[in-house]
Every structure is written in C-alpha cells, then in structure tokens.
C-alpha cells in the first residue's frame, strides 16, 4: 500500500484507495524486517521457532495516507484522495502479535511509521532528480 499510494503522489495524481479508510494494517520498515531476520539466523533461541515480525501496532489507512501526504510536503486534507469499492476478499484489519519474538530474542522494531515514510520519500525524491 505504501509504495502504491506514494506512486500516485510522485506522479501528482489523486490517490486511489480501494476499500474503507478505516481498514488497518501493520506497516513495518524493511530495515526492521532485516534486523529481525538476522537476529533469528544467529540465535540458538530461534531454532525450530516461528515468529511474527511486525510492529504490533495497527495503523488505519487514513493515518497512513496522512503521513504519506505530509512527508511529500502537502497539507493533510488538501491532497485529492478517491475511495472506491473493496478488493474482493480483503480483510478489515490485521496486525502482528510480536510478543514471542520479544520474549525469545528481545527484538522490537526501531523505526516508527512516520520516520520510515520520510526515509522512503527522501530516497524517492532524491533518486528522481
């Protein structure tokens, strides 16, 4: 979702959202995923275990959109967003239970949603210049 919504703004198009703005997901920055993966590879405590990797936080689509719009320098409420019907089979919301990876590996994500979005926007805008 993040890259899709950012692509609309990068092309200066209205953001097309399929489904409700009140759906929620667990958005995690890739560096945190890599950190969790490396920690599992090098830990005896991870042998034969399965872990959920996420933030453990639910972020509503409207919150995600607000953060993306702000990161691109637009005022929230002034960027055009178009909501259309749902994607068949899409669920209202999901987020990770990270209690097991915290307990076994003392792992937690480090990068907050806002910071991750800003990093992506900075990369995107610097690579297109």
CATH number at residue 88: 3.40.50.720
Q: For residue 117, what are the domain limits?
A: 2-127
Q: State how many domains the chain has.
A: 1
For residues 64 and 20, what is the distance between their CA atoms, to the nearest angstrom?
13
- Sorting pLDDT into bands at 50, 70 and 90, what band is 126? confident
Q: Which secondary-structure segment (H or E) carries 115?
A: helix 113-127
Instruction: For 12-24, write each residue's pLDDT tens digit.
Output: 999 999 999 999 9
pLDDT of res. 22: 93
Instruction: For 42-97, write each residue's pLDDT tens digit.
Output: 999 999 999 999 999 999 999 999 999 999 999 999 999 999 988 888 889 999 99
pLDDT of res. 129: 59
Q: Between the CA atoms of 14, 111, 95 and 18, what dihedral angle is there, to the nearest 10 degrees?
A: 10
Q: What is the pTM of this model?
A: 0.90
pLDDT of res. 66: 98
């Amino acid at each position: 979702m993040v890259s899709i919504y950012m692509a609309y703004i990068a092309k200066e198009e209205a953001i097309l959202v399929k489904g409700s703005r009140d759906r929620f997901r667990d958005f995690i920055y890739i560096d945190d995923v890599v950190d969790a993966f490396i920690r599992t590879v090098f830990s005896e405590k991870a042998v034969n275990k399965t872990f959920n990797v996420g933030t453990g936080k639910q972020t509503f689509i409207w919150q995600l959109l607000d953060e993306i719009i702000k990161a691109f320098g637009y005022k929230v409420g002034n960027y055009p967003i178009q909501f259309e019907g749902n994607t068949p089979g899409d669920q209202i919301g999901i987020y990770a239970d990270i209690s097991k990876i915290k307990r076994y590996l003392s792992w937690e994500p480090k990068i907050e949603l806002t910071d991750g979005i800003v990093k992506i926007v900075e990369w995107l805008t610097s690579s297109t210049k």
